Amino acid sequence: MTTPSPTVFVVDDYAPVRRSISRVLHAAGFAVAAFASAEEFLAQYDPRTLGCLVLDLAMPTLDGLELQDILAKAGSVLPIIFLTGTADIPKSVQAMKHGASDFLTKPVNDEDLLSAVRVAFEKNRSVRQQQTELSEILARLATLTPREREVLEYVVTGKLNKQIAGDLGTVEQTVKVHRARVMQKMRVRSVAELVRLTQRCGISAR
């Protein structure tokens, strides 16, 4: 299993634009993969790939905004740089509201494009970093038994062992055992660290 290398995906139905953009990006040292339609891109795209997407707004079948929607619903965090030849303000605003990294107009200035791509790469790197940390935490959480998980939630709200025991209808010693396993499985050595971890994944919202 090969990990795909960071790539700029270019999706535009107009071949000269694809070529021109690909050339500029390639000359700047980026790996580029160009597609003539959103469908082609979706068929090829490996979500694990780092990078960003340079996306034409107006395309025949699936347009840019629709692809943005599809990717978002699929949980993608690939930053999108839109390109458009038409001056459609509402669409640019919608794209930005939905999290587009940037929105450029054709003909696009080379430096603007490269700068946008660099920003997008950095965003992607940072989001992936956070995702990695989050999934590490979730992996640890997954090793907890239901009871341990329950105890965890009480612990991070600052409850005492005896209170937890009372609420769970058991005794303090039982709670201590679960609690010790929680600390061990979550790989922390203090309640403070535990609270930090769990804060990052929405636990303990009470």
Residues forming the site for a second copy (CB under 8 A):
84, 87-90, 92-93, 96-97, 102-103, 105, 155-159, 188-193, 195-196, 199
Nearer CB in complex with DNA: 125/147 = 147
Residues 102-121 that bind DNA (CB under 7 A): none
Q: Which does 84 bind (CB under 5 to 8 A by kind): DNA, a second copy, none?
A: a second copy
Contacts of 137 (CB under 8 A, 6+ apart): 197, 198, 200, 201
**Binding site partner of 56, from a second copy, DNA, none, Cβ cut-off 5-8 A by kind:** none
Q: How far is the CB of 141 from DNA (least distance, A)?
A: 13
In the complex with a second copy, which residue's Cβ is closer, 40 or 150? 150
Angle of CA points 25, 29, 34, to nearest 5° = 40
Shortest spacing between CB 136 and DNA, in angstroms: 19
Q: Closer to a second copy by CB, 25 or 156: give it.
A: 156
Compare residues 102 and 148 and give the one whose CB is closer to DNA.
148
Stretch that binds DNA, among 19-27, 102-110, 112-120, 173-181 (CB under 7 A): 173-181
Residue 70 or 191 with smaller CB distance to a second copy: 191
Using CB under 7 A as the binding rule, whether residue 58 contacts DNA is answered as no
Q: Which range binds DNA by CB under 7 A, 23-31, 63-71, 110-118, 160-168?
A: 160-168
SS (H, E, C) the chain: CCCCCCEEEEECCCHHHHHHHHHHHHHCCCEEEEECCHHHHHHHCCCCCCEEEEEECCCCCCCHHHHHHHHHHCCCCCCEEEEECCCCHHHHHHHHHCCCCEEEECCCCHHHHHHHHHHHHHHHHHHHHHHHHHHHHHHHHHCCCHHHHHHHHHHCCCCCHHHHHHHHCCCHHHHHHHHHHHHHHCCCCCHHHHHHHHHCCCCCCC
Q: Tell me: does residue 195 bind DNA (CB under 7 A).
A: no
183, interface contact from DNA, a second copy, none, CB < 5-8 Å by kind: DNA
